[in-house]
Amino acid sequence: MLRTRLIALLAVTALAASTAACGGSDDSSNNNSSSGSPDKVKVGVIPIVDVAPIYLGKAKGFFTKQNIDLTLEQAQGGAAIVPAVVSGQYQFGFSNVVSLLLGASKNVPIKVVANGNNATADPAKDFSGLIVKDPAITRPKDLEGKTVAANTLKNIVATTVNELVRKDGGDPSKVKYVEVAFPDQAAALDAGRVQAVFLVEPFVSSVQPKGWKQIGSFAAVSPNMMIADYFTSAQLLGEKADLAKRFTAALKESLAYADAHPDEVRQIVTTYTTIKADAAAAMTLPKYNPEIDKASLELLNGLMVKDGLLTAPVDTSKLLQ
């Protein structure tokens, strides 16, 4: 979701040109039926709270019910997951919307199959936060001439902060960004190396005792902003449409269940991340909507053009099946 890097375009372009199959570890010869031996499916994910629903869905048997033998493999981020899906190493993957739109703009053969996670609809209590230490900085416009820490440059964090500054009457071109990993951002802000950080859970709740001020969030850009999606290769979608349909059905059930059972989300997160139970209990969870938010996709599409990440809006039909 969010915590990915810009797609390694040269690697992805090479993969897109040379990909011969997207079967990967799926050795099922029956691609159009949910009967018989389970389809072996490997999904590339990131060890963050955003992917809790798919872990929860596996534990609850939602994928088994769809005759899918699911393996979840953790990766560094979208820069690794996108080419791995294109090559067939993974049958499906998880990545933030900005990275996926960048891929579509370069004609990388990927298709979104399901929503990933969304903002909470409450700008003041989101799972993300634009946070400052200096009491003189009280609003996004005040970030003009300041340095903001982002986990990845020229991606969804900068797109979000730029829009917050723009909406507040400021000039986002006057904001500087430096790349700092989420776990290191609080120390950078405390030491004055940056004047603002953009954090996600569990890091948002972990800095609350410091009394720092939150001046923005994903939800402040758009209440139900879609942050990330699950996707597959265009080739798999064409050759194994029934598998993609069953995977999507299991994932939608997982998303709905996770959204309705936050205590179980908090528990499952401790099984695949280093987040401890007490930290999980304090987190503000994202929303897990079963349906893809097309309006949010178009919003980010337009913001990327404003920021110069895209020269023109992406035809989102390239991404959506």
Q: What is the pLDDT of residues 244-259, one digit of tens each?
A: 999 999 999 999 999 9
Q: Is residue 4 part of a domain?
A: no
Q: What is the pLDDT of residues 210-239, one digit of tens each?
A: 999 999 999 999 999 999 999 999 999 999
As a whole number, mean pLDDT of residues 12-41 equals: 52
As a whole number, mean pLDDT of residues 69-78 equals: 87
Gap between the Cα atoms of 210 and 81, Å rounded: 35
Of 100, 173, 106, 101, the residue nearest 143 (C-alpha): 173
Same domain, 235 and 297: yes
Same domain, 197 and 259: no
Percent of the chain with pLDDT strictly greater than 70: 88
**Predicted local distance difference test score (pLDDT) of residue 113:** 96
Percent of the chain with pLDDT strictly greater than 90: 80
Gap between the Cα atoms of 113 and 93, Å rounded: 10
The single residue listed with the structure tokens 């963050």 is: 48
Same domain, 242 and 93: yes
pLDDT at 302 over 90: yes
Q: Is residue 23 part of a domain?
A: yes
**Predicted local distance difference test score (pLDDT) of residue 80:** 80
Please return the burial class of 73, using the count of CB atoms within 10 Å of its CB with bins 0-12, 13-18 and 19+. middle
Q: What is the pLDDT of residues 162-194, one digit of tens each?
A: 999 999 999 999 999 999 988 899 999 999 999
Q: Is residue 2 part of a domain?
A: no
Same domain, 211 and 231: no
**What CATH number should be reported for the domain holding residue 268?**
3.40.190.10
Gap between the Cα atoms of 101 and 276, Å rounded: 34
Same domain, 18 and 67: yes
Three-state DSSP at 70 gives: strand
CA torsion angle for 31, 37, 38, 39 (degrees, to 10)?
-40
- Do residues 112 and 292 touch, judged by C-beta distance below 8 A? yes
Same domain, 65 and 197: no
Gap between the Cα atoms of 82 and 95, Å rounded: 8
**Predicted local distance difference test score (pLDDT) of residue 28:** 39
Range with the poorest average pLDDT among 29-33, 175-179, 267-271: 29-33
Q: Is residue 1 part of a domain?
A: no
Gap between the Cα atoms of 321 and 317, Å rounded: 7
Last residue of a domain, one of 221, 256, 291: 221
Of 70, 93, 120, 88, the residue nearest 223 (C-alpha): 120
For residue 290, the tally of other CB atoms under 10 A from its CB is 17
DSSP state of 92: E
Dihedrals φ, ψ of 6, to 5°? -60, 140
Measured in residues, the chain has a length of: 321
What mean pLDDT is reported for the chain?
A: 89
pLDDT confidence band for 76 (50 / 70 / 90): low
Same domain, 37 and 106: yes
pTM: 0.85
Number of domains in the chain: 2
Gap between the Cα atoms of 62 and 82, Å rounded: 25
Greater model confidence, 34 or 219: 219
Same domain, 236 and 293: yes
Last residue of a domain, one of 173, 193, 221: 221
Same domain, 253 and 208: no
As a whole number, mean pLDDT of residues 123-148 equals: 97
**Predicted local distance difference test score (pLDDT) of residue 21:** 36
Gap between the Cα atoms of 321 and 319, Å rounded: 7
As a whole number, mean pLDDT of residues 133-156 equals: 96
Same domain, 304 and 211: no
Last residue of a domain, one of 221, 242, 260: 221
And the tokens for 261? 């059972």
Same domain, 70 and 115: yes
pLDDT confidence band for 36 (50 / 70 / 90): confident
Three-state DSSP at 284 gives: coil
Same domain, 232 and 114: yes
DSSP state of 215: E
Dihedrals φ, ψ of 217, to 5°? -170, 175
Residue 250 belongs to domain spanning: 9-119+225-318
pLDDT confidence band for 32 (50 / 70 / 90): very low
Q: CA geometry: angle at 136 spanning 208 and 176, to 5°?
A: 85
Q: What is the pLDDT of residues 94-126, one digit of tens each?
A: 999 999 999 999 999 999 999 999 999 999 999
Q: Is residue 175 part of a domain?
A: yes
**Predicted local distance difference test score (pLDDT) of residue 129:** 97
Please return the burial class of 294, using the count of CB atoms within 10 Å of its CB with bins 0-12, 13-18 and 19+. exposed
pLDDT at 46 over 80: yes
